[in-house]
Amino acid sequence: MKIFTVTMVPVNPPYDDAVKNMVINIARRIRRHSFLLVSSFFGKAFRREANVTFLRSVFQKQGRHSMSFMQKLYVFIMVLLNMGKVDLFQFFVTPQPYFSRVFKRLLQDKGKKSLQVVSSIHTLYGKNDDKVIADLFFADRVVVYSDFTKKSLEEKGVKNVVRVYPGIDCERFAPKPGTDSSFNIVYAGSYGVLAGAFPFEDLSAVAEKVTGRFKKANFIMACRIRTAKDILLRRAFEKMVERKGMKDNFTFLDTVEDMPALFRKSDIGIMPAKDAMSGVLEIPMVLLEMACAGKPVIYGDVPPLGELADKGIGIMLADRCAGAYAEKILALLEDRDSAASIGKRSKNAVEKYFNIDVMAREYERIYEDLETGRRRSG
């Protein structure tokens, strides 16, 4: 089959966005099918693949996490131009009413198969009225990333829902000898997501307690700047840290091209949350990536992260206060054997359940099922 994939971000290097990481890795692993991916005309391009064609748009710059009007128009025109050659359209975007009405009518009129991917139920619900959720889905299959989301959508009347856990390139993030660090704690994500889930004041309180015992502890903020709001949030957080005398205990990074190297030289990954995290994959890839590097990760008790804890990945904290996170970080820094044991257990669980090869096989089964149905109807 020829498969046209629509993503919100252009599929260009570096590997700094979960969705584009997945779609390029899926295409590389499923050689039997060919893929059309939308990328940016600007900057670098991923290496050429025999089964992948890149449509390079001048309307979408790298680093943008949303489509401009001209980019939306470009994607729509590319869909129309390739309609006769494409067998399956898959959408790695959060649906909204206008989008769903247009593509439902278009694809049904042309008799084309389709697949919709829900990367975060929290983002889906945050952008849409609860009453219209069921009407947003028109595809032959709806892929979700957790059992929690599958159950939630099915309760709202959405049909043909399939759960496929997100996968990472485990070989790329595998541990390497000689890369131990000295008290580095990483938060990888965005300032907007962090501000919505765990107040800056609370994170600074975590750091105060940790640095009170480990003077050299370093909190690395590996946060992409996606919007003007992110710039303002970063400045506000930097000022807070400086005001509290912890300037030397924080490192602020923007885009990190070599995430595996960063994780390998760090001790602990954290993703504190009091509330659901909107605007990021509901199972954050950075947690899986750092766990795959053999490092312990600490995260909040917000759905669907309980599915990570059930499989033995990292430490989920039911207590959402700053003190609980600080005490857990301190315990891991003081007991390296325990930290190593948690890291090893987590790495094994990621390789078993959240491996990109496992994910690609699940997608291939879905493609083959849809291809068989297409042939019957044809």
Domain chopping of the chain, boundaries: 2-167+355-377, 171-353
pLDDT at 372: 84
Give mean pLDDT in consecutive 10-residue pieces for the chain, a chain of 378 residues: 94 85 94 96 90 93 78 94 96 94 94 96 93 95 98 96 96 80 89 93 96 94 88 95 95 89 94 89 95 96 96 96 96 95 97 96 96 62
SS3 328: helix
Enter the tokens of residue 99.
């989008």
Question: Domain 2-167+355-377 has what CATH class?
Answer: alpha beta
Q: How many CB atoms lie within 10 A of CB 335?
A: 12
pLDDT at 377: 46
pLDDT at 181: 64
pLDDT at 16: 75
Common-topology check for domains 2-167+355-377 and 171-353: yes
Backbone angles phi, psi at 166, to 5 degrees: -65, 150
Q: How many CB atoms lie within 10 A of CB 309?
A: 15
pLDDT at 176: 83
The one-letter code for the residue type at 125 is Y
Question: Domain 171-353 has what CATH class?
Answer: alpha beta
pLDDT at 13: 87
| Alpha-carbon span 89 to 91, nearest angstrom | 7
| Alpha-carbon span 293 to 258, nearest angstrom | 13
Backbone angles phi, psi at 274, to 5 degrees: -100, -25
